[in-house]
Structure 1
């Protein structure tokens, strides 16, 4: 059985922000000569894992943040340590790395079994970035909101002096002008590859450790079973826990939206379609864009449900953008298909017997 499952997701985002420094994340597309918006794979991953833990109603793994004082008593950034414990769902699927300063302890790291792409435009011509000027306005209730004007030394100046400064000006001190805010709209595509060999397996390799000896003993006592895969000896997550996690993971893969890193200006970011299969190339045929043969400078979204070994699930929301007919239960059926595929993998007995 092919150990990989590939999922391509088509989403619609409307006048929203994948927010970080300098407003909307964007990059330059050299082929179509324009700035295009995107959400990083890291942001997508965090949003998926948040959806996962919310679905499970479980807390994510705690993180310990270290800060160091230098010789001048100044506070500096230190390490951030996670638990490195696969009993936490976000750790099992998200991976971890702990490299302690000083090099006195072994580095512990686990590569995530989920390879996650950035969410980017299906085609540079099928979306873009728009700018708008906004205000932080509290001028409608002047008796409630305070205004303090400070001099060059940071001291508040009297109200009478403020009124003198404003004479001959129509400026409002209860309204802040915020120019050139960017917003993103368009059809976005995102890809994920799931390695089922390591999805529920953690390595017991002592040369490149994924686990501390204490965590190994904890897992054994919690019913994790020793087995082997193509990477060597490993511990396998118990079947009962796998069933629970597979259901929640399938839900997260279908229903995530960008929520992390201060994503703002709400958009449902509705899922229009999912293409699911075990060939990384063919799922791209099922959800793609084509240049319009009649009108120059125009691209059209294209969904194809006739690709061999690819299952295409189209929601009714897609009918506003493509002619393909959507099904009301398409997203639920996509969840069921993911659950069935992941549950059918033989995690305990991965190696072929000769």
Structure 2
């Protein structure tokens, strides 16, 4: 049985912002000579994990945030230290999301778990099928001028009086209750993301203490919670209990297909509806299952294509896809439910062998 599951998802985003860096994160596509929007793999993974935990209805593992005082030029400053993870795979987000704990000073061993999920950035299906545009927005409170306070400071930093402000504004068409925010970027179009699931690591935690993922105390705790000894190609390990594997499998399959960007990094909400999902144990075939094709006449246009004829690839197409892609006969109102069931079955078939 193949130890990997590969997934490609196709989403539609509409007039939204993935992150507020420079208005909207972009990268330059050298082949087509244009900037395109993207959401980083880290942000996609964070969105997946948020949906995963919400589906399980559990809290994430706590993090300890360390700050450090230092003295520079005779002044005491508060600097950033390392965030310390709990490194406890009994928390679902730590088991699936991975972690690292490297304490300053080197007194304690570094603990790190590589996530069994490898997540790509979400980027355009093709540069011609997504766009970035700028707009000017305002922070406007001119409808209730008596409600809000206005402070104007002179060149010395002193607060000016109301009479001085009125005199300053004389002859000027200027509002102090409206702030212009120019050059804000939005994006929209068809976007894809790819995920690889390493089934060998999904529900196992190595017990090797030369490059440890967990401390001896955590190993003892996991055993007391029903984790059992096993062995994979990576060596001796602990295997999660069957009931935990089942609940995590269902929640993870749901999250991989139904996430949206809802963090405070995103300025504008979009449904980001999923149009199609392709699942395979062969990563090379995914690129052909959901792809784009350039216009044959040489125009700067591309057409999205979902190919359901590839052997070894299960493709699921939602009803919403018909608004953006032509000639898709097998779209379905329960396509995501079917894809979720397929993921659950594949993960469970492998985890039952552990």
TM-score range, shorter chain: over 0.9
The answer to whether the aligner puts 1:329 opposite 2:323 as a matched pair is no
Q: Tell me if the contact between 1:8 and 1:192 (Cα under 8 Å) persists in the aligned partners.
A: yes
User: 1:30, 1:261 → 2: CA distance?
Assistant: 31
The unaligned stretches of length 5 or more in structure 1 are 350-354
Is contact 1:236-1:348 (8 Å) kept? no
Q: Which residue of structure 2 lines up, in the alignment, with residue 67 of structure 1?
A: 67
Residue 152 of structure 1: how far off its partner (Å) = 2.8
CA distance in 2, matches of 1:347, 1:212: 26
Q: Which residue of 2 aligns with 1:201?
A: 204
1:30 correspondence with 2:30: yes
Query: Residue 92 of structure 1 corresponds to which residue in structure 2?
Result: 95
**CA RMSD of superposed structures (Å):** 1.1
User: Is the contact made by 2:96 and 2:117 (CA closer than 8 Å) also made in structure 1?
Assistant: yes
Q: Say yes or no: does 1:281 pair with 2:317.
A: no
Give, in angstroms, the shift of residue 348 of structure 1. 5.3
Structure 2: gaps spanning 5 or more residues? none
Provide the C-alpha distance between the structure 2 equivalents of 1:220 and 1:261, rounded to a whole number of angstroms: 38
Partners of 1:149 and 1:181 in 2: CA distance: 26
Q: Secondary structure at the match of 1:43?
A: helix
CA distance in 2, matches of 1:233, 1:295: 57
1:183 aligns with 2:186: yes
Q: Retained in 1: the 8 A contact 2:261–2:269?
A: no
Tell me if the contact between 1:275 and 1:287 (Cα under 8 Å) persists in the aligned partners. yes
TM-score (norm 2): 0.97
How far does residue 148 in structure 1 lie from its aligned partner after superposition? 1.1
Can you list the C-alpha shifts for 1:159-213, whole angstroms capped at 9, x where unaligned?
Answer: 0000000000110110000111000111000000000000000111111000011
Q: 1: distance between equivalents of 2:169 and 2:58?
A: 55
Query: Residue 113 in 1 paired to residue 111 in 2?
Result: no
Distance between the aligned counterparts of 1:261 and 1:58, measured in 2? 20
Shift of 1:260: 2.7
Q: Which residue of 2 aligns with 1:56?
A: 56
Number of residues of Structure 1 aligned to a counterpart in Structure 2: 349
What is aligned with 1:125? Answer: 128
Q: Which moved more, 1:256-265 or 1:48-57?
A: 256-265
* TM-score normalised by L of structure 1: 0.97
